[in-house]
Amino acid sequence: MKRTTTTKIIGLPTDNHEQILKLFDSPKLIGLIGDRNSGKSNLLYWTIKALRENFHFNLFYYGLRAKVFGAVQIFSTEELEVIHDSIVIIDEYASLFDIDDRKQKKAIENSLRLINHNNNVILLSGLPENYRKFIASKLDAMIFKQSSIGDAINGSMVKKRVVNYGGDERGSAVLALKPNEAIVYNGIHYYKVSVPKIEEADTKANNVDILVKIKRS
């Protein structure tokens, strides 16, 4: 009896971790975009861990609550502008750059241009509304966590990229993603990525309950 061969047209889902790691292979500006409590910080810690498991590199960071050993914590744009040949992670970047002051627009653009020129990969993390048009237009790649689409700035490249995404996760008001999920846009294609939780970096794990149930006898 002749055995027939079937062609597999449906594959098993993959974590697609390499789509995040590939973003760091050359100087660029990457934007991590997501609502509050959407898992942005966990993705940052996972990225650091995954990169360290595969590569040697210099790391500088701003705004992360958990201390990152073997990395240099910075506190100002002056420190940023003298970094060379490194990966720079800026969490809650709107607290470092005064994006609401229009007079600071040129200064912020000059800082980002200089940091990029110094052979660095810069990863900014912020809310959808933090990505003003002049910053969003400079992003070489984007990583989306769950995001309220209406909060993105009209006319910005962040708004355009999330609206253009045609996956099932995008509704009319929300790009709905689970805490361990993200959408990577590398400048050409979109990829869905699954990222595990980094327990040791969970700074909220030891928070006490605000409401404590009264025990009645």
Q: Of 30, 35, 12, nearest to 151 (Cα)? A: 35
**Helix, strand, or coil here: 176?**
coil
pLDDT reading at 136 higher than 60: yes
Backbone angles phi, psi at 72, to 5 degrees: -105, 120
pLDDT per residue as tens digits for the range 27-78: 999 999 999 999 999 999 999 999 999 999 999 999 999 999 999 999 999 9
Reported confidence tier of residue 2, pLDDT bands at 50, 70, 90: low
Task: Confirm whether 6 is domain-assigned.
Answer: no
Task: Confirm whether 203 is domain-assigned.
Answer: no
Chain length of the chain = 217
Task: Confirm whether 216 is domain-assigned.
Answer: no
Query: What is the domain count for the chain?
Result: 1
Task: Confirm whether 212 is domain-assigned.
Answer: no
Task: Confirm whether 215 is domain-assigned.
Answer: no
Task: Confirm whether 23 is domain-assigned.
Answer: yes
What is the model's pLDDT at position 79?
95
What is the model's pLDDT at position 152?
96
CATH code, domain carrying 184: 3.40.50.300
State which H helix or E strand residue 125 sits in.
Answer: strand 121-126
pLDDT per residue as tens digits for the range 169-210: 999 999 999 999 999 999 999 999 999 888 876 666 666 777
Query: The domain containing residue 141 runs over which residues?
Result: 18-198
Determine how many CB atoms are found less than 10 A away from the CB of residue 142: 24
Task: Confirm whether 90 is domain-assigned.
Answer: yes
Backbone angles phi, psi at 126, to 5 degrees: -170, 180
Pairing relationship of beta strands 28-33 and 141-144 according to DSSP bridges: parallel
